[in-house]
Amino acid sequence: MIKKIKISYLAAILPVLLFSACEKEGTHIMPTIKAINKNFEISGFVLGDTIEQYFDGLKMREYYGRVSQSYAQNQMAFVTDEVNMELRKKSTGETVYQQKFSINDKDNVVPKFYFNGSQFSNQYTYPAVQGNDYTTNFFVDSKGASAPVDINLEVLEYRYDDTKPDPLIVVNTTVFPLAKNIQPGEWTAYVKIPAPVVIPQQSGTDLYPIVVVRDSKTQEYYIDKDRDRSVINMELPYVGVSPGKVQSVYLNRKPADGTNFYLEQYELVQLFPR
Amino acid sequence: MFKFIQKLAEPYFADRIILNPRHVSSLPYSYKQEREPGYSWYFLMKCSFIALLIQFTFAGLLLASAVKGQNLNEVKVALKLNNATVKESLLQLQENSAIKFTLFNQLLAKEDKKVTLNTQQISVSDALKKILSGTRLNYKLVNEFIVIEAKPVPPKPGRISGKIVDDRGEALSGASVRVIETGSGAVAAVDGTYVLNLPPGTYTLEFSFMSFQTQRVTGVVVTEDKNTPLDVALRTDTKGLKEVVITTGYKKASVAGLYAQQKNTSNLSDGISGDQIEATPDKHVGETLKRIAGVSTNENRKVVIRGIAERYNVSLLNGSSLPSTDVQERDFEFNLIPSNLVENIVVAKSMTADMPYSFAGGLVQITTKSVPESNFFSISLGNSFNSRTTGNEFLGYGRGKYDYLGFDDGTRNHFPTGLLNLIGQFDPTKDDSQNKIKASEVAAQNKRIGGTERLGARSFQSLPSQNYQLSLGRTYSLSPDKVRKFGFVGSLSYRNTQTNDYVPNMRRGDWSHEPARGDDPADVNTGNIYGFNTTLGLLLNGGFKTEKHQINTYNLYTRIFDDRFSRYSGWTFESPKNDTDTKYPSILEDDRPKFTDLLQNKVSGTHRINSFTIEWGLARTSLKSVERDAISASQSAKEISNRVLYTYSTGTISDPGSGPLHRDEYIYKENNLDAVLSAAYDFKLGKTKHTFKTGANYLKKHAFYDWQILPIAKGPNSTVPIELIPVQDWGNYMGMEDVGHSLFYFKQDYTSNEFEATSVNGGTFLMLDHKLLPGLRVVWGARAEYFKLDTMKNSASLLRDKNSKIFFAEPKDWYFLPSANITYSPIKDLNVRASYAKSAVRPGLMENSRFSRYNPNYGSVVRSNGVSSTLIDNFDAKIELFPGAGELLSVAYFYKYFDKPAEYYRLDNENNGRGYITISNSDWAKVKGWEFQLRKSLGFVYAGLPFLKDVFVSGNLTLQKSQVRAREVQYETTAAGVDTMYYKYLKYPRALYGQVPLLYNAGIQYAGKKLGVNVTLNHSGYKTFITGIEPAYVEYERPRTQMDAQISYKFLKGKIETKLNMSNLLDAPIRYFINDPTTYELKPGNEGKVNLEWNDKYAYKFGFSEKFEEGYVDPVTNRRVGDRETFTRYVGRTFSLSLSYNF
């Protein structure tokens, strides 16, 4: 009987003792950071295909349009002495750029780049200024809409009536077509922007030139059929005043809150100054 | 004739030796039994040899069938044996008689008898008798062989045991039972039990007792080493002194005994006996409780009876109340008590005056075995695997070396005494000359507290759960003819369980209540709750009983180490997700390692002296629960270029609270002293029997709670690079060499951090039990119950509560609680019952404390507003039909009126949209419901399939409805500066806290001799989880269906039993929701009206109701319109395999 008790006791207690020798510390799930470099920079522009940014094989974010850094993204943490960054083309997974950063580097800067959907380059190329001419090209992104668009320089003749809900009363519009039937997804050829010269039709009115996008087929304003939200912010020439200028305008219709849209726009010559 | 010569080279492997006399002389007198090298070769030889031997032996016997035997009396031999072994003697006899012997070496080796026999002439038969006398050997003549063989082993006795009761189910102490065939007998002990030990056979038993008809039971079969249960109900002898003997068959008598106990309790009750528990594969009481009609448990802790929440139910272990193992909620871990040590579990659903503790739902009475019916020793071991835990990542903070043993190794001990309170006395931005407590003192204090090595989430390997148990029972009888039995039952158990519950959705309290954008599936708060539990249990019960007296002692010690590590990630209510600074979720970690010691010692007695029965009990229960190094920590996320950087947050000196990272110690001690005494007097009035019973009870509770909170903080200008320092190394930066740039324990006490209270619960009762007409029983009486709660220390744990008070409004100390039960049996096997009772449920000791604590799984602080007793009027009616043994069909109706029911509320007095959870009294509640129960054998389906008799279908259904008049406490300070409170009563109708309007259990069970199969389905409808004053605060649990299955099989005549338990086979999630304000709208014309109550002001939108509706995302606003899924929890499927061996 005593023997049986001994055997039973040992049978019961041995696994307990066995498990009591099990791991106590475990493996910390948060890695130890060796250093944080606060001089990381990345900038550029992406269109045509999305660029995925990987660090040490871990995808951190995607870039499309202007590449910029937000709050605290100038910091780079080193768990090991080196961080490997890869920029990959989303559609194919192909690595289009790779850079390694060392824990000993003072600055961790990625050279400014332009990716047009197929080629990765360190510069966006554009023609030189021709005299006093204002030239521009446009890129309407097919991500926003696939229908072709027209871009006009329109001069609004308006008067102001603050008794009305919309106090801006447009009495006449003069249109200067800049580009017609623009196919989304392609840069247009450079066109010259004329200096808008318009004589007011009514007294007490003012003139206000805008560059605006319209649907080629319906001629409705491009963004929610709303003139003000379809305006491109770009510089226009004034006769005898302006020196020449080159502009490359990127446009994309993007959803805003609810069912509304807005017009995302970047001027690439400003982003890639010579 | 067959002859065999044993090879001398292989003597050891000979199981049987057949010797030819011609070769006997060549055998050595003795030979060594040594194993030669080359074991496998010998093993093969042995197997071959045995096979050959068996074949040759049987062949030899067949071939020898024609040979005639010799007359052993006629063969004379001379023998010269001096202190010879049996073997040597037989060999000489063989040689001298020339008769062939068949010897079994192993049998001969066991005999140590020495033979001295010197004779010139003795017959072989006489010589054999002399040589073999006093041994365990026998001989027989088979043809010309003398075969020496073992004597047949006498069969082990079997047992008949049971209980002798009267026709109303009451124990007949001193009743006698006699075995007609043997004349032996026994007398029933004070609890009516008897045991008879008999050789296997079929017997007739005669049961008799004064004033009762003698009853003979025929055909009682006793099998070897088995117990034959036989409970017998004797009928009252209404014909005076005339001897009447009723003869009945075993089966009929046994069934009647079972009926009598089921049918004749004075109150409405359901239960499960030890025999029935044995037929189930349950390991602990938590599993067994669910088998009782109308009872369900929440994670084997909280008991819900008839859909009424745990707060209104009382659990007794061996008649003494159980303390809660959780400070802020009422629950007890029933899995501490192994099922095989349980004598019975009875759940009383209506009250009689002699019940010492009041309840509304039910009284769970668990009685463990004290004196076993027979000796036993068993060992069981088991493993279980959980589909969501085993093999998956298991997170937690640093463990101790002895966690698997349930003890702390000292690594959690960071709470020395005499710590300095730094509030207002130390500011790291000031130099020592401006601080009362100097930096060096803070540094020394930091060192005393210790480092942060244990902090920081880490990953462990999750192991399968394991459990081991040793059980021992011994019983001794001091008298062969009288009941003088004592015995004990002991058990030692160990269990380690690891669980990983997945929470895919957390939208409670402080967490964000909805995604910032309705179409963002990633905007969800998720988490895991990791549970590591080690439980050690030691139970030692003993008792002594005679015909008239019984004294038992019950002792239970349990040690529980329970570590709950919750880790949630998501966005908070205050900082919902956006694309800039809260793009990534923050993390909240909460580690609660708790060591609990529970010790219960009890002595109780029953004495029957003539017509008096005296019962008494004295119990002491102590609970010590130490939550040591409980850590709450939060991590904020920051997106940097190459990763999301998570950093543990520190507190600041300007933070008037525990801050985002603190390590705490909570010590709770509760000592209960419990005494009961009652005396009953049986008397007759004419032909009617009556019992007068009176008694008193006393329960004193003393609770002490102490807590220490140690926030980790840094100065406002500190440049400690905590992003770079792992939290487990923070202790290295607490030296205070650079005061402004150190980390330190910011010990802050606003109050004394203590709670101490005592409560006294006393009562006295008078009860009369009338057995009037045949089949009519009336039990009525009243209790006078006293309750007094004294709070000696009641510190607030939060700064904002420092000046608040608890308004404890107990209107009076004494309550008068009448009760009456009527049972009428108009026909055989049918009971009609009705009862009324008034009961009072008292507040718990901690329910009036000012202690508040954040509960990570509620996402809220839980606190108390003070509660008073709840008075309940209980009305019950029930019809029961007992169609067969173990079969039941019943219908019951109940109505309960709760005066000042205590409920868990979510209040938002600070109007921050999140609120907190508190316990508070509502004005009143009414609960009414129906209860249906069925248990039926399938034997009636087809008689040709005998196994159907062992198949039972069972089910119970509870339908109920409740209504509460809620009230909201309002505080006001009078012009004289006196704080007062009053209530604002609300018309919004809702269900009582904890209510389940629909609850059903369905099951099918097969309990064969070897195989047992059990499949159960449990469904619970909508349950009110947390109440509130309007729908936006009321949280419900969604309906849930759980399916469990068990398979058990017994081997080796029942010595080994294996059990496979499969629980939660459907992996049903536990889901909660709130009727979100997006699902209802203002009624027309109510715009701008502020004083209307909810139901006057609002109505549910089309498609929405109080039940759960998922809703949709509004395409215009991109916001979700639908009920808020507040909490979802998956516990996984569990498969456990256990094996037990009974020695």
Share of chain B above pLDDT 70, in %: 87
Where residue B122 sits, what CATH number does that domain have? 3.55.50.30
Whether residue B68 has pLDDT greater than 70: no
- Cβ distance B586 to B634 under 8 Å? yes
Q: What is the crossing angle of helices B124-132 and B86-97, to 10°? A: 170
Number of A to B CB contacts under 8 A, please give it.
129
**Beta-carbon separation of A60 and B642 below 8 A:** yes
pLDDT band at B34 (very low <50, low <70, confident <90, very high): very low
Residues B894 and B809 reside in one and the same domain: yes
pLDDT score of B669: 94
Q: Is the pLDDT of residue B297 over 80?
A: no
Interface of B with A in 428-487 (CB under 8 A): 456-461, 463, 466, 468-470
Interface test with A, best of B640, B1140, B1143 (most A CBs within 10 A): B640
- Residue A3 CA to residue A26 CA, distance in Å, equals 39
Q: Which of B16-25, B257-266, B809-818 has maximum average pLDDT? A: B809-818
Tell me which of B150, B185, B200 is where a domain ends. Answer: B150
Is the per-residue pLDDT at B772 higher than 50?
yes
Mean pLDDT of B1113-1125: 88
Report B:332-391 residues touching A (Cβ under 8 A): 377, 379, 381
| Digit-coded pLDDT (tens) for B1007-1021 | 787 888 989 888 989
Residue B219 sits in which domain range? 158-263
Nearest C-alpha in B relative to A29: B458
pLDDT band at B268 (very low <50, low <70, confident <90, very high): low
List, for residues A68-122, the tens digit of each pLDDT value. 888 788 999 999 999 999 999 999 999 999 999 999 998 889 999 999 999 999 9
Quick one: B23 and B130 in the same domain? yes
pLDDT above 90: percentage of residues in chain B: 33
d(CA B922, CA B901): 5
Q: Are residues B758 and B768 in the same domain?
A: yes
Greater pLDDT, B481 or B587: B587
- pLDDT tens per residue, range B841-899: 888 888 888 888 888 888 888 887 778 889 999 999 999 888 776 678 899 999 999 99
Instruction: Write the CB contacts of B1052 (distance below 8 Å, at least 6 apart in sequence).
Output: none
Asked if B398 is an interface residue toward chain A (Cβ–Cβ < 8 A), one would say yes
Whether residues B642 and A69 touch (CB distance < 8 A) is answered with no
Structure tokens that stand for A133 in this block: 């001419």
Nearest residue in chain A measured CA to CA from B406: A20
C-alpha–C-alpha distance, residues B782 and B763, integer Å: 10
DSSP class of residue B958 equals: E
The answer to the question of residue B449 being in a domain is no
pLDDT of residue B38: 41
For residue B376, the SS3 value is strand
Q: Which of residues B237, B263, B289 is at a domain's end?
A: B263
User: Of A71-75, A209-213, B349-353, which has the strongest mean pLDDT?
Assistant: A209-213
Assigned domain for B413 exists: no
Check residue B844 and give its pLDDT.
82
CB contact under 8 A, A28 and B457: yes
Together in a domain, B1108 and B1136? no
Q: Which of B675, B649, B645, B647 is nearest to B662 (CA)?
A: B649
Element (H, E) at B823: strand B814-824
Of B405, B638, B726, the CB nearest to A72: B638
* Structural domain contains residue B961: yes
* pLDDT(B82) > 80: yes
Q: For the residues of B573-595, what is the DSSP string, one character each?
A: SSS---SSTTSS-EEEEEEEEEE
Task: Quote the tokens at residue B353.
Answer: 């005056």
Answer whether B344's CB lies under 8 Å from B370's CB: no
Does residue B215 register a pLDDT over 70? yes
Any chain A CB within 8 A of the CB of B396? yes
Q: Tell me how many domains chain B contains.
A: 5
pLDDT at A52: 96
- Indicate whether B571 and B651 sit together in one domain: yes
The sign of the torsion formed by the CA atoms of A61, A65, A67, A71 equals negative
Q: What is residue A225's predicted lDDT score, i.e. its pLDDT?
A: 92
The verdict on B956 and B848 lying in the same domain is yes
The reply to whether B637 touches chain A by the CB within 8 Å rule is no
pLDDT of residue B1100: 92
- pLDDT at residue B696 is higher than 90: yes
Model confidence over B951-993: pLDDT tens digits? 889 888 989 899 988 887 777 777 887 777 777 777 777 888 8
A20 and B401 within 8 Å at the Cβ level: the answer is yes
Asked which of B333, B348, B380 is the last residue of a domain, the reply is B380
User: SS3 breakdown of chain A: % helix, strand, coil, rounded to 5?
Assistant: 10, 45, 45
Nearest-by-Cβ selection for A24 from B377, B399, B728: B399
Which of the residue ranges A146-155, B458-467, B902-911, B1072-1081 would you say has the lowest mean pLDDT?
Answer: B902-911
Euclidean distance between the first and the last CA atom of chain B, given in angstroms as a whole number: 46
The whole-angstrom distance between B578's CA and the closest CA on chain A is 13
CB within 8 Å: A26 and B723: no
Query: Cβ-count burial of B269 within 10 angstroms (0-12 exposed, 13-18 middle, 19+ buried)?
Result: middle
Residue of chain A whose alpha carbon sits nearest to that of B729 = A32
- pLDDT greater than 50 at residue B403: yes
Query: Which of A4, A8, A83 should we substitute to test contact with B (largest number of B Cβ atoms within 10 Å)?
Result: A8
Between residues B729 and A9, the one the model is more confident about: B729
Q: What is the pLDDT of residue A126?
A: 94
Q: Are residues B164 and B292 in the same domain?
A: no
Residues B345 and B235 both lie in one domain: no
Within a domain: residue B743? no
Task: Judge if B912 and B1050 occupy the same domain.
Answer: yes
Q: Are strands B185-187 and B967-973 parallel, antiparallel or unpaired?
A: unpaired
Instruction: Name every chain A residue with its beta carbon within 8 A of the beta carbon of B492.
Output: 12
Q: In chain B, which among 710-769 make CB contacts under 8 A with chain A?
A: 723-724, 726-728
Residue B159 has pLDDT above 80, yes or no: yes
Quick one: pLDDT at residue B50?
A: 44
pLDDT grade for B2, boundaries at 50, 70 and 90: very low
Round to whole Å and give the CA distance between B512 and B524: 8
Nearest chain B alpha carbon to A39: B641
Cβ pair B641:A60 closer than 8 A = yes
Residues of chain B found within 8 Å of residue A30, distances taken between Cβ atoms? 456-457, 646, 726-727
Task: Looking at the complex, report in whole angstroms how far the Cα of residue B43 sits from the nearest Cα belonging to chain A.
Answer: 27
Q: Is residue B724 part of a domain?
A: no
At B170, which CATH number? 2.60.40.1120
| Cα atoms in the 13 Å half-sphere on the side-chain side of B152 | 4
- The whole-angstrom distance between A261's CA and the closest CA on chain B is 13
Asked if B339 contacts B284 with a C-beta cutoff of 8 angstroms, the reply is: yes
Residues B617 and B709 in one domain: yes
Inter-chain touch A12–B405, beta carbons under 8 Å: no
Q: Is the pLDDT of residue A18 over 80?
A: no
A-proximal residues of B, 495-514, CB under 8 Å: 496
Q: Taking CA atoms, what residue in B is nearest to A55?
A: B642
Q: Say whether pLDDT at B281 is over 60.
A: no
Do residue B326 and residue B253 come from a single domain? no
Query: Which residues of chain B make contact with A73, given a CB cutoff of 8 A?
Result: 639-641
3-state helix, strand, coil in chain B (%, to 5): 15, 50, 35
Please name the residue of chain A whose CA is at the shortest distance from the CA of residue B1118. A258
> Which of A188-197, B742-751, B794-803, B866-875 is the least confident region?
B794-803
Q: Most A CBs within 10 Å: which of B393, B641, B649, B1138, as the mutation test of the A interface?
A: B641
Question: Which range has the worst mean pLDDT, A55-69, B564-578, B901-915?
Answer: B901-915
Which residues of chain B have a CB within 8 Å of the CB of A75? Answer: 640-641, 645
DSSP string of B283-351?
Answer: -BHHHHHTTSTTEEEETTTEEEETTB-GGGEEEEETTEEPPPSSSSS----GGGSBGGGEEEEEEE-S-
Other Cβ atoms less than 10 A from the Cβ of B910: the count is 10
With bands split at pLDDT 50, 70 and 90, how would you rate the model's confidence at B66?
Answer: very low
> Which residues are bridge partners to B54 per DSSP?
none
Q: Identify the pLDDT of residue B778.
A: 92
Residue with the larger pLDDT of the pair A249 and A195: A249
The residues, ordered by sequence, that sit 6+ positions from B1121 with a Cβ below 8 Å of its Cβ are: B1076, B1078, B1079, B1101, B1111, B1112, B1113, B1114
Residue B336 or B403, more confident: B403
In a domain, B799, yes or no: yes
Could you give the ipTM of this predicted complex?
A: 0.83
Do B145 and B204 reside in the same domain of the chain?
no
Average pLDDT, chain B: 82
Closest by Cβ to B381, choosing from A12, A69, A72: A12
Tell me the mean pLDDT in the region B425-439. Answer: 90
pLDDT of B49 strictly over 60:
no
Q: Which two tokens stand for residue B281?
A: 């594969």
- B399 and A25: CB-CB below 8 Å? yes
